[in-house]
Amino acid sequence: MSRAFVNEDAGSDQEVSFDLPDPDSAYFDEAAAWALIQGADQGDSVSAEIATGYRWGEERLIPQMVRILEEAEEEGEDRVAQLARRFLRHAEGG
């Protein structure tokens, strides 16, 4: 899954879609965490929450989001790191 998000269609009326594995898949939570990041980056967290069944700040996704944050910081992906930090703050109630 791409870790770079480009908002080329900002302001368009296109519906955001998320490519998620089967919810029973071992990879679903990681894909859901990425979908929430993508949705937030595109200004459409609601669609990501609906697609994944998880809310922004879902405690179950904390381990995946910590990994995303660590990778983003290592790779200099500032926007992804920023959104992961926001997710983790929200998960911690702050």
- Average pLDDT score over residue span 71-94: 96
0.85 exceeded by pTM: no
Q: Where are the domains of the chain?
A: 28-91
Q: Tell me, what's the pLDDT at 57?
A: 97
- Which alpha helices (DSSP H) does 1-94 contain, by range? 28-41, 45-52, 62-75, 78-91
Q: Tell me, what's the pLDDT at 11?
A: 46
Q: Tell me, what's the pLDDT at 50?
A: 96
pLDDT at 89 over 80: yes
Other Cβ atoms closer than 10 A to 80: 23
pLDDT in tens, 24-74: 999 999 999 999 999 999 999 999 999 999 999 999 999 999 999 999 999
